[in-house]
């Protein structure tokens, strides 16, 4: 770091420029050397590059916003279509399981669904009951669609 002989010496270049006198001899010599070497850097080069970069980033941002807004109606239509496919169920809900009552009850209690129901019961007071029935009537499943395979013969 250069030490100045006078406290206002660092302002001498600015004072000379404002007074209309030329550049300080060291600056003039550096400018002449730069011109002689073919260095055509503009003193505004860095500022111009910064301005250009800012302009390009601004344009890219504007294009990105326009594309996002153009996609919003599509997302809204897809969300509405998805909601239209959901059929709300009204409580109470009933789940019927057929099998050995002790095994089914223990398997449910140890399952993630059983733990989730217990959490809902303790946290929110949601009720659920498990009942054992001697017999249940379940609706018939639709007939399976039968498909047959046959061996292709070559030739």
- Band the pLDDT of 1: cuts 50, 70, 90: very low
Tell me the pLDDT of the chain averaged across its residues.
78
Residue 7 has pLDDT above 70, yes or no: no
Of the candidates 128, 135, 77, the one whose C-alpha atom is nearest the C-alpha of residue 101 is 135
Q: What is the pLDDT of residue 54?
A: 92
Q: Could you tell me the two tokens for 25?
A: 């001899």
Of the candidates 115, 69, 113, 70, the one whose C-alpha atom is nearest the C-alpha of residue 95 is 113
Could you read off the pLDDT of 21-70 as tens digits, one per residue? Answer: 666 677 778 878 887 887 666 566 677 888 889 999 999 999 888 887 77
């Amino acid at each position: 770091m250069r030490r100045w002989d006078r406290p206002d010496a660092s302002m001498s270049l600015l004072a000379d420029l404002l007074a209309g006198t030329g550049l300080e001899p060291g600056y003039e010599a550096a400018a002449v050397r730069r011109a002689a070497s073919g260095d055509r850097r503009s003193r505004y080069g860095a500022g111009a590059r910064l301005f250009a970069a800012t302009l390009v980033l601004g344009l890219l941002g504007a294009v990105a916003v326009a594309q996002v807004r153009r996609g919003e109606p599509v997302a809204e239509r897809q969300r509405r279509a998805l909601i239209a496919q959901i059929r709300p169920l009204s409580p109470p809900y009933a789940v019927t399981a057929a099998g050995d009552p002790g095994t089914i009850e223990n398997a449910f209690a140890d399952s993630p669904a059983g733990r989730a129901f217990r959490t809902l019961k303790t946290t929110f007071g949601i009720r659920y009951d498990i009942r054992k029935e001697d017999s249940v009537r379940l609706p018939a499943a639709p007939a399976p669609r039968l498909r047959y395979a046959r061996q292709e013969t070559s030739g």
